[in-house]
């Protein structure tokens, strides 16, 4: 594809993303390229660079367009991304925007003036408000400030960067060293993840979907923070565990490996489609202790669920996803304050339903990939008020037991952050139910 055709493709994709922000962009992009087999790897990289720059920096790009009195549309956004992000000058722009077949129309006078005015500049400008510089919706600035305090700006900057690819090594089948060796043989560099003893972080963007490492169940893509959440649940071989909100089974896989394939895990979710996607993953990982259950009872549980029958219940609740905006930059522009309220209400309902499964003395572990306190500390405080037979168990103690080091990210609750910790944003609380034997309390 010519540079112009790549720009036209990026504009087309930007229009498609804007038309339906609820559709995950990676799926949309994959579908677009499936239908255009002529596009090669270089085309894909160039098109995605424009697309993702706009999605990550949309507030700043729109600020520049408005400052220059230009209409805010996909073509204008692509033009700003090319000039500020890729450093394109007049010659590059004229070469691409030439009106040829499959290429965008030539720049008009206003667009030429915009490009000239932006030449040599960066995305940042001191006149931009914090929410513009940090590329978050204006209504969220207060919540983020409450959560991040003095670290607000560096954390928002970190949240704009591309996330690394982390793998969780399947200890049922192999070791971290062995997988690092297999990757190296394929020319892929990796280093241990900052925290998880089973994690490898890949250098650069690598698509391992068709690699034998994934196909044979030796490893699964999973951010370091998610690996840590599963580890802090404290599951032990032989226990009865529920992975509530199991989705496609990411945490179930991690729990089964921690439990050395001994005991029992009920992986449940309201979405049968997501649970079905867990099935092949569990099979290739060699997990034999997981049972899949669709949550379809009016009480929020699966039919026949045994209340008070489980040692640990992990709730990886649906949330704003603010902690994973590095991976899904489009999600920033999708969420509104009503959505957040709905997530909070759903989290409360799910916590109440899941808590009924916890045995006396057992644990309810609540996790969200959110940076917002109202979805983390706030939800837990409300739950503890409503259910006084549960008490918070300090995450730092669980961290010490499981990871053998001091917890770098909180005492009572875990708060991982992209800027400080190099992981997705993640919140974890461990809540212990009164009664029963105290053996679980020690783990």
Residues that bind ligand SAM (CB under 6 A): 226, 244-248, 250-251, 269-271, 274, 295, 300, 316, 318, 350
Residue 259 Cβ vs ligand SAM, minimum distance, rounded to whole Å: 16
In whole angstroms, give the CA distance from residue 226 to residue 243.
13
> Toward ligand SAM, which CB reaches closer, 1 or 365?
365
> Toward ligand SAM, which CB reaches closer, 220 or 377?
220
In whole angstroms, give the CA distance from residue 193 to residue 152.
24
Residue 306 Cβ vs ligand SAM, minimum distance, rounded to whole Å: 17
Structure tokens at 442: 């020690």
> Toward ligand SAM, which CB reaches closer, 261 or 352?
352
Residue 317 Cβ vs ligand SAM, minimum distance, rounded to whole Å: 6
Identify the helix (H) or strand (E) that includes residue 430.
strand 426-433
Residue 418 Cβ vs ligand SAM, minimum distance, rounded to whole Å: 17
> Toward ligand SAM, which CB reaches closer, 244 or 390?
244
In whole angstroms, give the CA distance from residue 196 to residue 402.
10
> Toward ligand SAM, which CB reaches closer, 294 or 392?
294
Q: What is the dihedral of CA 149, 373, 332, 342, to 10 degrees?
A: -150
> Toward ligand SAM, which CB reaches closer, 321 or 362?
321
Residue 402 Cβ vs ligand SAM, minimum distance, rounded to whole Å: 18
In whole angstroms, give the CA distance from residue 349 to residue 382.
11
Residue 433 Cβ vs ligand SAM, minimum distance, rounded to whole Å: 19
> Taking the mean position of all CA atoms in its chain, how far away is CA 274?
16
> Toward ligand SAM, which CB reaches closer, 117 or 271?
271
297 within 8 A of 266, measured Cβ to Cβ:
no
Q: How many CB atoms lie within 10 A of CB 349?
A: 12
Residue 354 Cβ vs ligand SAM, minimum distance, rounded to whole Å: 8
In whole angstroms, give the CA distance from residue 132 to residue 141.
10
**CB neighbour list of residue 174: distance below 8 Å, 6 or more residues apart:** 218, 219
> Toward ligand SAM, which CB reaches closer, 143 or 247?
247
Q: Which residue is nearest to ligand SAM (CB)?
A: 250
The residue whose two tokens read 């609380």 is 429
- Give the total residue count for the chain: 443
The neighbouring-strand residues paired with 310 are 358
334 within 8 A of 21, measured Cβ to Cβ:
yes
The single-letter DSSP state of residue 436 is S
Residue 70 Cβ vs ligand SAM, minimum distance, rounded to whole Å: 38
The phi, psi pair for 271, rounded to 5°, reads -100, 105
């Amino acid at each position: 594809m010519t540079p112009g055709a790549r720009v036209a493709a990026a504009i087309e994709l930007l229009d498609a993303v804007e038309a339906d922000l609820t559709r995950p962009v990676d799926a949309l992009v994959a579908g677009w390229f499936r239908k255009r087999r002529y596009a090669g790897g270089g085309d894909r990289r160039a098109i995605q660079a424009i697309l993702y720059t706009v999605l990550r920096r949309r507030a700043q790009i729109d600020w520049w367009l408005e400052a220059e009195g230009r209409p805010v549309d996909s073509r204008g956004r692509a033009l700003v991304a090319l000039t500020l992000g890729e450093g394109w000058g007049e010659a590059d722009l004229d070469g691409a925007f030439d009106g040829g077949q499959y290429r965008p129309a030539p720049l008009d006078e206003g667009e030429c003036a915009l490009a000239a005015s932006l030449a040599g500049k960066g995305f940042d400008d001191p006149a931009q408000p914090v929410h513009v510089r940090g590329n978050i919706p204006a209504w969220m600035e207060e919540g983020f400030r409450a959560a991040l305090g003095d670290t607000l700006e560096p954390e928002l900057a970190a949240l704009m960067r591309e996330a690394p690819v982390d793998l969780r090594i399947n200890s049922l089948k192999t070791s971290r060293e062995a997988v690092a060796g297999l990757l190296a043989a394929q020319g892929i560099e990796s280093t241990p993840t900052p925290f998880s003893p089973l994690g490898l972080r890949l250098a650069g963007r690598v698509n391992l979907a068709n690699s034998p490492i994934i196909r044979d169940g030796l490893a699964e893509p999973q951010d370091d923070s998610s690996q840590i959440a599963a580890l802090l649940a404290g599951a032990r071989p032989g226990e009865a565990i529920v992975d509530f909100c199991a989705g496609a089974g990411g945490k179930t896989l991690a729990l089964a490996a921690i439990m050395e394939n001994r005991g029992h895990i009920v992986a449940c979710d309201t979405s049968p489609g997501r649970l079905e996607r867990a099935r092949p993953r569990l099979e290739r990982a060699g997990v034999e202790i997981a049972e899949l259950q669709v949550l379809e009872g009016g009480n929020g549980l699966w039919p026949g669920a045994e209340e008070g029958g489980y040692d640990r219940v992990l709730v990886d609740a649906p949330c704003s996803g603010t902690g994973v905006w590095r991976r899904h930059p489009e999600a920033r522009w999708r969420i509104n304050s009503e959505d957040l309220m709905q997530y909070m209400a759903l989290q409360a309902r799910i916590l109440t339903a899941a808590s009924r499964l916890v045995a006396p003395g057992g644990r309810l572990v609540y996790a969200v990939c959110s940076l917002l306190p109202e979805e983390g500390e706030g939800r837990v405080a409300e739950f503890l008020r409503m259910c006084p037979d549960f008490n918070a168990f300090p995450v730092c103690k669980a961290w010490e037991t499981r990871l053998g080091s001091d917890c770098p990210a909180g005492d009572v609750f875990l708060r991982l952050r992209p800027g400080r910790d190099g992981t997705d944003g993640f919140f974890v609380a461990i809540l212990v139910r009164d009664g029963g034997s105290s053996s679980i309390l020690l783990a």
